[in-house]
Structure 1
Amino acid sequence: MLTLHADTPEQYHAAVADHPALLVDFHKDNCPGCRMLAMSLAAVASTPEAHELVLLKVRLEAIGEVFFRSLGLRQTPTLSVVRDGQEVLRLPGFQSPDAIRAALARSA
């Protein structure tokens, strides 16, 4: 799974436009659940469910709370599955590797 980073709203929108399948990880630095989720994402990265996906890491401190809230996000961590520019699934809070794999299978 290719990993990209978006530090600005423009980078976020460009990634959504350029990649047909994205798994977006909205996180922040001082969040224990975010660090745990990073370990789950690492475990999922080499699985068949993640093969076609690009992981887009979006850090709240970099992109800004105004943009974060404009997407309807309320907490970190939050995972979002985006297909063809549209969010098809949102998973708030920590997710285990099994939960992420199941969500990716459901949203395929």
Structure 2
Amino acid sequence: MDTYLNPGPTASEVEAMPGPTVLEFGTPWCGFCRAAQAPIGAALAGRPDVRHLKVEDGSGRPLGRAFRVKLWPTLIFLRDGKEVARLVRPQQADAIRAALAQATAAA
């Protein structure tokens, strides 16, 4: 998915999401966000079991503030609506895969 959701889901909608989810906070014009797309794509390739939502972030955006996002991109890895891992400005697919393993591990 190349488009950032604007607005994104609400915090209560995120908490209700079953299974593994990756929230990617950023913007389409952010250079760090664009640079991270290749490793994010590589880590999520062949993982249709993982929901990946790109959420446009910025000042006053409630979901980003709820997750205390400060830098872009920030990846929040969730299992059944609860945060299990976080990466800020990821550069390597292996680091993303390791965090993804926490979200997809049996509870």
TM-score by length of 2: 0.76
Q: C-alpha root-mean-square deviation of aligned residues, in Å?
A: 2.5
Contact kept, 8 Å, 1:6 with 1:12, in 2: the verdict is: no
Q: CA deviation at 1:6?
A: 3.5
Higher strand share: 1
Structure 1: how far apart are the matches of 2:33 and 2:21?
18
Structure 1: how far apart are the matches of 2:53 and 2:16?
12
TM-score by length of 1: 0.75
Give the structure 2 partner of residue 18 of structure 1.
Answer: 17
Structure 2: how far apart are the matches of 1:16 and 1:35?
27
1:70 pairs with 2:70: no
Give the structure 1 partner of residue 92 of structure 2.
Answer: 96
Gaps of 5+ in 1: none
What is the percentage of aligned positions where both structures have the same residue?
A: 29
| Count of residues paired in the alignment | 102
1:17–1:84 CA distance, 2 compared to 1 (3 A): same
Structure 1: how far apart are the matches of 2:21 and 2:53?
7
Contact kept, 8 Å, 1:79 with 1:91, in 2: the verdict is: yes
